[in-house]
Amino acid sequence: MLVNPIKDGIVLDHIKAGNAMEIYHALGLDELDCQVAIIKNCDSAKMGKKDILKINEHIDINLDVLGYLDPGITVNFIKDSKIYDRKHLELPMEIKDVIKCKNPRCITSTEQELSHIFKLSNREKGVYRCIYCEASAK
């Protein structure tokens, strides 16, 4: 399969195989009016199999969302067909309005305008806890 390189845009590389569609929807890429290539189950020497997303435009992407969904992602920013910046993601210390607290007694259940904020409580297990009620996100 041949997928052409992009001249200007963003390439999300090293996505866990099968996660590209979740990331596509979480970032709202389905609402964009630009070309987006989803490459699933590519061979990878490092990972075995991986997914790749190519966005043929520079957009604002929430790196915390990406880090939460798949902390192994590499984000490559492309200009004039060359990488001008690269970010290797990891689990963010805090996520805001990415997930909702599932505790029905949490204040976020009754106060609709309150942001859903979670802090990373265990990096090894990827556990986040609500800052208001300490409920686990998973």
CA dist 137 and 119 (Å) reads 10
Q: Residues 120-132: pLDDT tens digits?
A: 999 999 999 999 9
Mean pLDDT of 74-96: 94
pLDDT at 79 over 90: yes
Tell me what the pLDDT averaged over the chain comes to. 91
Q: What is the DSSP letter of 29?
A: G
Task: Give the CB-side neighbour count of residue 65, counting CA atoms within 13 A.
Answer: 14
Best CATH choice for the domain 9-88 from the list 3.30.70.140, 3.90.650.10, 3.40.1280.10, 3.40.50.2300: 3.30.70.140
CA dist 70 and 51 (Å) reads 11
Residue-level pLDDT at 118: 97
Residue-level pLDDT at 1: 62
Spans of all domains in the chain: 9-88, 94-130
Q: What is the DSSP letter of 5?
A: P
Q: Residues 11-31: pLDDT tens digits?
A: 999 999 999 999 999 888 988
